[in-house]
């Protein structure tokens, strides 16, 4: 694939007025007839040809105003259809007929068939695998869709918009027609046909319109869709209340399919979901599954305004819809659950996924300026960092002006294909604030590093903070400008109150937000009676790395007393990280591992503080992960030493808190009727965190084995199984539990994915053999993305010691898998390959092995553009 540059953007030469699509569905020979009405754009060259995108198409007919097109007027070359000699003025109709083989479509892009269900995935460039089209997000038009299919195998015929009507159609067939009155780009097109069960409900919008809600799932799975329906209704209500956004069609449909490359897709009025993010009941879904379903249902629904009504001018603007929509779903979940705990989970995810991306060879700006394969830009940088950038706008402007800016955006750009500049302009116009320096967040890659030092002058009552900011170099960007970094802060005094400075000099301060804008900045606070403990970046107001040598005692003060619970968690993790890094160093040098008693004391004190919500205490107990320690260590990493060191620290905490953990384990048992609400989930999280420590303290599998046997819900059951497998992999209790789990859930693929993941993340060098053995299991299916992610993906992403074996066998295995998956499903292969994005941070022996594995992949024959793009960037 060639490189696409943002600077080359220009509108199409022709305007597409409308399209009528007719599908005659057949498993191997589906006929698609597309009738498109065009006219030449004003100002376009009078001899400009019409150039349409295709991808592996089999075109069987081409008509101009209903008559076969003369052969000399068109060419079909390199996946492009070019039509010449078109009128200068007036509308004309082009009809393209193609034949598609949905059964053979293993890429799961375009029209494919899974478990007898026809479905489509068009974002980003899947529509061109259906027919020749202006397959780009700035071409919006209205669609009419006619679907003809076998009545018996496809009683259900769905597409976007409103149902127009249907009837019998010849022998054994029927048809249905749909019309979507909202102009949309092709990536939002969807078609689903098959035999599915349905859960129905309705929602009355704020203006009193009734919307039919339908969730389609495989027959028999209807009861497992009720939580998704509940989440959908809450999302619709929330978007009205918080963003003033009302739904706009008479019907909203969700279809759950089992073969899907990602989480879900926001097609207009017809969302298609990975069934993992729809189906849940207490016996088969964990609290995390419920939370994910709630978030993703909301996310896709929220796209109706941020993505569909206002879409992207081009794919460089992807964060316009994704970053903003993630921000919206984060806010939704925060309102539905505990805001503080939600924020901690978000930051954990950002740091473990986005920070490494931003620090490695795949780093790119939130709004990139070039790409080779757009599917590789659906990244945590575009999504999660994009969300953080939106959050910072809200922080800088304050809630009221942020709302004003959002309202202006909806009003000004409804129906548009917009850009990031359009978006930012709305906030500038609404607030009168210049956001040009702030916009660097969209354009400069890399996580800014802010180094802070402090001084206190008792005699003058002056407290001083000195800041220095630096944005590290990233691929293609060596020199960076200073950024506008909004830091929420507080000055804590010993008596538990907060200092209220008489004056602050050296930086703009609005409310509790300090605005850093210069490379170096010194800020003084006067009228401070005693030495304060400063709490910085409360709520993670800016996605940065903060280096501030605060004493463990000051951090412990924050961890126990800050009014911001995120800051409390951050402070505890800031005490823990240096301990864990030192422990890793000592483990590597075979030196003795010491742990600061303050860390363990604070940890145990918070865990035992009954005034705090259980979910928060569970987050505190989950010390920084091995990956967090690796990031903090920063290079020359030895995953074995990191684990050994972390285990030693955990052991100290486990023994010190053993009595408390036993009490927490008993007291937080949510017996009887499972409910997925956040409070109950928090209790289970705390109980299971305690179980993890108890397994270390007790050194026996008995307690976890009993917890497994008596569990009455999947959260507790899978947590106990994880403790058994990860702590006691060779115990007979573990073998028995794994087998019981397999036998009970063998016919539920989503639960079996947990069985695969739990085993593929068993730490240590034996993991690879286990993964290889599991791949031979009849329950494994390498053509199903969820299965491959659960086993191969989880092994590579989430088993640091198992994957990063010093002999390089883990990397060779991955190379082998990537080369095998790529020809069938390039997107899946490319995504799993990103697990090696931090390979340069490994110590020499491992990084040499990693390099060899990457070279093996790069040398593969007929690599997809997805995989070759990733591997080449990783090798650069």
Which DSSP string do the residues of 616-631 spell out, in sequence order? Answer: HHHHHHSPPPHHHHHH
Q: How far is the CB of 100 from ligand B3K (least distance, A)?
A: 19
Half-sphere exposure of 471 (CA within 13 A, CB side): 26
Q: Considering only 298-306, 491-499, 818-826, 864-872, which stretch makes contact with ligand B3K by CB under 6 A? A: 298-306
Window 314-343: residues binding ligand B3K (CB under 6 A): 322
Query: Among residues 219, 221, 203, 201, which one has the least CA distance to residue 211?
Result: 203
- Any catalytic annotation for residue 300? yes
Q: How far is the CB of 303 from ligand B3K (least distance, A)?
A: 6
Q: How far is the CB of 381 from Zn ion (least distance, A)?
A: 14
Q: How far is the CB of 469 from Zn ion (least distance, A)?
A: 30
Window 134-173: residues binding Zn ion (CB under 5 A): none
The residue among 263 and 398 lying less far from ligand B3K, judged by its C-beta, is 263
By CB atoms closer than 10 A (0-12, 13-18, 19+), residue 103 is middle
Run of H or E residues at 181: strand 173-184
Q: Considering only 261-269, 273-281, 571-579, 739-747, which stretch makes contact with ligand B3K by CB under 6 A? A: 261-269
Cα angle 609, 610, 611 (rounded to 5 degrees) comes to: 90
The residue among 264 and 720 lying less far from Zn ion, judged by its C-beta, is 264
Q: How far is the CB of 479 from ligand B3K (least distance, A)?
A: 32
Q: How far is the CB of 297 from ligand B3K (least distance, A)?
A: 11
Buried b (16+ CB within 10 A) or exposed e, 54-71: bbebeeeebebeeeebee
The residue among 564 and 866 lying less far from ligand B3K, judged by its C-beta, is 866
Contact residue for ligand B3K among 371, 378, 463, 756 (CB under 6 A): 378
Q: Examine residue 124 and tell whether it contacts ligand B3K (CB under 6 A).
A: yes
Distance between CA atoms of 133 and 582, rounded to whole angstroms? Answer: 58
Q: Helix 318-336 crosses helix 287-302 at what angle (to 10 degrees)? A: 130
By CB atoms closer than 10 A (0-12, 13-18, 19+), residue 458 is exposed
Contact residue for ligand B3K among 259, 266, 346, 638 (CB under 6 A): 266
Window 314-333: residues binding Zn ion (CB under 5 A): 322, 325
Contact residue for ligand B3K among 262, 312, 863, 874 (CB under 6 A): 262
Distance between CA atoms of 75 and 86, rounded to whole angstroms? Answer: 14
Residue 129 binding partner per list Zn ion, ligand B3K, none, with a CB distance cut-off of 5 to 8 Å that depends on partner kind? none
By CB atoms closer than 10 A (0-12, 13-18, 19+), residue 538 is buried
Residue 533 binding partner per list ligand B3K, Zn ion, none, with a CB distance cut-off of 5 to 8 Å that depends on partner kind? none
Q: How far is the CB of 319 from Zn ion (least distance, A)?
A: 10
Q: How far is the CB of 123 from ligand B3K (least distance, A)?
A: 4
Q: Considering only 194-202, 225-233, 297-305, 678-686, which stretch makes contact with ligand B3K by CB under 6 A? A: 297-305
Distance between CA atoms of 799 and 776, rounded to whole angstroms? Answer: 20
Q: How far is the CB of 245 from ligand B3K (least distance, A)?
A: 16
Q: Considering only 193-201, 264-272, 479-487, 525-533, which stretch makes contact with ligand B3K by CB under 6 A? A: 264-272
**Do residues 484 and 438 touch, judged by C-beta distance below 8 A?**
yes
Cβ-based neighbours of 499, under 8 Å, separated by 6 or more? 463, 491, 492, 493, 525, 527, 528, 529, 532
The helix/strand/coil state of 523 is: strand
Q: Examine residue 300 and tell whether it contacts ligand B3K (CB under 6 A).
A: yes
Residue 378 binding partner per list ligand B3K, Zn ion, none, with a CB distance cut-off of 5 to 8 Å that depends on partner kind? ligand B3K
Distance between CA atoms of 63 and 130, rounded to whole angstroms? Answer: 17
Fill in the per-residue mask, 365 to 384: x = in contact with Zn ion (CB under 5 A), - = not in contact. Answer: --------------------
**Do residues 148 and 175 touch, judged by C-beta distance below 8 A?**
yes
Residue 557 binding partner per list Zn ion, ligand B3K, none, with a CB distance cut-off of 5 to 8 Å that depends on partner kind? none
The residue among 383 and 409 lying less far from ligand B3K, judged by its C-beta, is 383
Q: Examine residue 388 and tell whether it contacts ligand B3K (CB under 6 A).
A: no
The residue among 684 and 831 lying less far from ligand B3K, judged by its C-beta, is 831
Rg of the Cα trace of the chain?
A: 28
Residue 123 binding partner per list Zn ion, ligand B3K, none, with a CB distance cut-off of 5 to 8 Å that depends on partner kind? ligand B3K
Residue with tokens 């419920």: 290
Residue nearest ligand B3K (C-beta atom): 123
Residue with tokens 């408390």: 660
Q: Which of 123, 218, 266, 300 is catalytic?
A: 300
The helix/strand/coil state of 777 is: coil
Residue 375 binding partner per list ligand B3K, Zn ion, none, with a CB distance cut-off of 5 to 8 Å that depends on partner kind? ligand B3K
The residue among 375 and 469 lying less far from ligand B3K, judged by its C-beta, is 375
What residues form DSSP beta bridges with 81? 52, 76
Residue 729 φ then ψ, to 5°: -60, -30
Q: How far is the CB of 206 from ligand B3K (least distance, A)?
A: 24
Which DSSP string do the residues of 438-488 spell out, in sequence order? Answer: TTHHHH--S--EEEEEEEEETTTTEEEEEEEEE---BTTB-------EEEE
Cα angle 686, 619, 831 (rounded to 5 degrees) comes to: 115
Fill in the per-residue mask, 273 to 312: x = in contact with Zn ion (CB under 5 A), - = not in contact. Answer: ----------------------------------------
The residue among 322 and 562 lying less far from ligand B3K, judged by its C-beta, is 322
Q: How far is the CB of 266 from ligand B3K (least distance, A)?
A: 5
Query: Among residues 224, 239, 214, which one has the least CA distance to residue 336?
Result: 239
Which DSSP string do the residues of 223-258 spell out, in sequence order? Answer: GGGHHHHHHHHHHHHHHHHHH-----SSEEEEEEES
How many amino acids of this chain bind ligand B3K (CB under 6 A)?
12
Residue 727 binding partner per list ligand B3K, Zn ion, none, with a CB distance cut-off of 5 to 8 Å that depends on partner kind? none
Query: Among residues 156, 167, 85, 165, which one has the least CA distance to residue 116?
Result: 156
Residue 262 binding partner per list Zn ion, ligand B3K, none, with a CB distance cut-off of 5 to 8 Å that depends on partner kind? ligand B3K
The residue among 307 and 501 lying less far from Zn ion, judged by its C-beta, is 307
Residue with tokens 């709630």: 294
What residues form DSSP beta bridges with 37? 18, 93
The tokens for 739 are: 């087998």
Residue 364 binding partner per list Zn ion, ligand B3K, none, with a CB distance cut-off of 5 to 8 Å that depends on partner kind? none
Q: Considering only 34-42, 62-70, 200-208, 260-268, which stretch makes contact with ligand B3K by CB under 6 A? A: 260-268
The residue among 418 and 465 lying less far from Zn ion, judged by its C-beta, is 418
Contact residue for ligand B3K among 375, 537, 713, 868 (CB under 6 A): 375
The residue among 374 and 796 lying less far from ligand B3K, judged by its C-beta, is 374
The residue among 260 and 467 lying less far from Zn ion, judged by its C-beta, is 260
Q: Considering only 259-267, 497-505, 602-610, 860-868, which stretch makes contact with ligand B3K by CB under 6 A? A: 259-267
Q: What letter would DSSP give residue 2?
A: P
Contact residue for ligand B3K among 13, 20, 53, 123 (CB under 6 A): 123
Run of H or E residues at 40: strand 30-40
Q: Examine residue 265 and tell whether it contacts ligand B3K (CB under 6 A).
A: yes
Q: Considering only 42-50, 137-145, 262-270, 679-687, which stretch makes contact with ligand B3K by CB under 6 A? A: 262-270
Asked, as a colleague might, if the bond just before 765 is cis with ω within 30 of 0, I would say: no
Q: Which residues bind ligand B3K (CB under 6 A)?
A: 123-124, 262, 264-266, 299-300, 303, 322, 375, 378
Residues that bind Zn ion (CB under 5 A): 322, 325
Catalytic sites, residue numbers: 300
């Amino acid at each position: 694939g060639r490189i696409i540059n943002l600077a080359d953007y220009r509108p199409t030469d022709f305007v597409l007025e409308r399209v009528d699509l007719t599908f005659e569905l057949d498993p191997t020979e589906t006929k698609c007839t597309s009738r498109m009405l065009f006219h030449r754009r004003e100002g376009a060259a009078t001899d400009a040809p019409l150039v349409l995108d295709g991808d592996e198409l089999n075109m069987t007919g081409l008509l101009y105003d209903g008559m076969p097109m003369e052969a000399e007027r068109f060419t079909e070359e390199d996946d492009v259809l070019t039509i010449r000699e078109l009128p200068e003025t007036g509308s004309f109709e082009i009809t393209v007929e193609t034949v598609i083989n949905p059964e053979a479509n293993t890429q799961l892009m375009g029209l494919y068939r899974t478990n007898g269900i026809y479905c489509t995935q068009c974002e980003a460039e899947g529509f061109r695998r259906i027919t020749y089209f202006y397959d780009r997000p700035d071409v919006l038009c209205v669609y009419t869709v006619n679907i003809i299919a076998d009545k018996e195998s496809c009683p259900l015929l769905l597409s976007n918009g409103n149902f127009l009507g249907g009837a019998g159609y010849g022998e054994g067939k029927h048809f249905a027609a749909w019309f979507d009155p909202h102009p949309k780009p092709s990536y939002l097109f969807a078609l689903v046909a098959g035999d599915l069960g349905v859960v129905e409900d309705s929602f009355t919008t704020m203006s009193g319109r009734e919307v039919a809600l339908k969730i389609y799932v495989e027959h028999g799975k209807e009861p497992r869709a009720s939580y998704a329906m509940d989440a959908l209704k809450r999302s619709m209500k929330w978007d009205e209340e918080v963003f003033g956004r009302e739904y706009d069609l008479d019907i909203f449909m969700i279809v759950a399919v089992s073969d899907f490359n990602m989480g879900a897709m926001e097609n207009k009025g017809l969302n298609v979901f990975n069934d993992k993010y729809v189906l849940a009941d207490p016996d088969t879904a964990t609290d995390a599954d419920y939370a994910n379903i709630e978030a993703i249902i909301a996310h896709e629904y929220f796209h109706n305004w941020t993505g569909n009504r206002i879409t992207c001018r081009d794919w460089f603007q992807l964060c316009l819809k994704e970053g903003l929509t993630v921000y919206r779903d984060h806010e939704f979940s925060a309102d539905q659950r505990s805001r503080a705990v939600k924020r901690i989970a978000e930051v954990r995810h950002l740091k473990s996924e986005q920070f490494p991306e931003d620090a490695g060879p795949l780093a790119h700006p939130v709004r990139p300026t070039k790409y080779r394969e757009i599917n590789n830009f659906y990244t945590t940088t575009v999504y999660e960092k994009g969300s953080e950038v939106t959050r910072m706008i809200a922080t800088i402007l304050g809630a009221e002006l942020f709302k004003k800016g959002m309202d202006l955006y909806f009003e000004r750009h409804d129906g548009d294909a917009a850009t990031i500049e359009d978006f930012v302009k709305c906030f500038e116009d609404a607030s009168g604030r210049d956001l040009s320096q702030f916009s660097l967040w969209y354009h400069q890659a890399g996580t800014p590093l802010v180094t802070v030092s402090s001084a206190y002058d008792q005699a003058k009552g002056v407290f001083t903070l000195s800041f220095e900011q630096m944005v590290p170099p990233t691929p293609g960007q060596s020199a960076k400008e200073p950024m506008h970094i909004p830091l929420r802060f507080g000055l804590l005094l010993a008596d538990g109150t907060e200092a209220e400075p008489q004056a602050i000099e050296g930086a703009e301060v609005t409310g509790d937000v300090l605005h850093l804008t210069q490379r170096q900045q010194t800020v003084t606070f006067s009228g401070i009676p005693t030495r304060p403990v400063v709490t910085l970046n409360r709520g993670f107001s800016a996605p940065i790395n903060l280096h501030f040598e605060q004493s463990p005692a000051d951090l412990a003060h924050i961890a126990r007393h800050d009014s911001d619970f995120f800051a409390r968690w951050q402070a505890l993790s800031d005490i823990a990280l240096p301990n864990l890094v030192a422990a890793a160093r000592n483990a590597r040098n075979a030196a003795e591992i010491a742990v600061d008693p303050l860390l363990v004391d604070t940890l145990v004190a918070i865990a035992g503080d009954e005034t705090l919500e259980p979910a928060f205490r569970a987050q505190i107990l989950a010390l920084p992960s091995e990956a967090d320690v690796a990031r903090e260590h920063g290079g020359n990493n030895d995953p074995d030493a990191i684990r050994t060191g972390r285990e030693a620290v955990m052991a100290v905490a486990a023994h010190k808190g053993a009595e408390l953990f036993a009490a927490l384990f008993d007291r937080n048992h949510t017996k009887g009727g499972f409910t997925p609400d956040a409070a109950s989930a928090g209790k289970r999280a705390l109980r299971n965190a305690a179980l993890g420590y108890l397994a270390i303290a007790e050194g026996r599998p008995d307690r976890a084995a009993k917890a497994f046997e008596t569990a009455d819900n999947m959260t507790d059951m899978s947590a106990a199984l994880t403790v058994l497998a990860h702590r006691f992999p060779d115990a007979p209790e573990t073998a028995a539990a794994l087998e019981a789990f397999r036998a009970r859930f063998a016919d539920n693929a989503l639960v079996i994915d947990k069985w695969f993941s739990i085993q593929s993340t068993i730490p240590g060098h034996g993991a690879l053999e286990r993964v290889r053995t599991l791949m031979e299991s009849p329950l494994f299916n390498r053509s199903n993305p969820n299965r491959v992610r659960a086993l191969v993906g989880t092994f590579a992403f989430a088993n640091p010691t198992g994957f990063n074996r010093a002999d390089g066998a883990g990397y060779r295995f991955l190379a082998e898998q990537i080369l095998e998956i790529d020809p069938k499903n390039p997107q899946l292969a490319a995504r799993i390959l990103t697990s090696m994005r931090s390979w340069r941070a490994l110590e020499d022996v491992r990084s040499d092995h990693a390099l060899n594995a990457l070279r093996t992949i790069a040398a593969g024959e007929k690599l997809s553009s997805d995989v070759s793009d990733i591997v080449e960037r990783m090798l650069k």
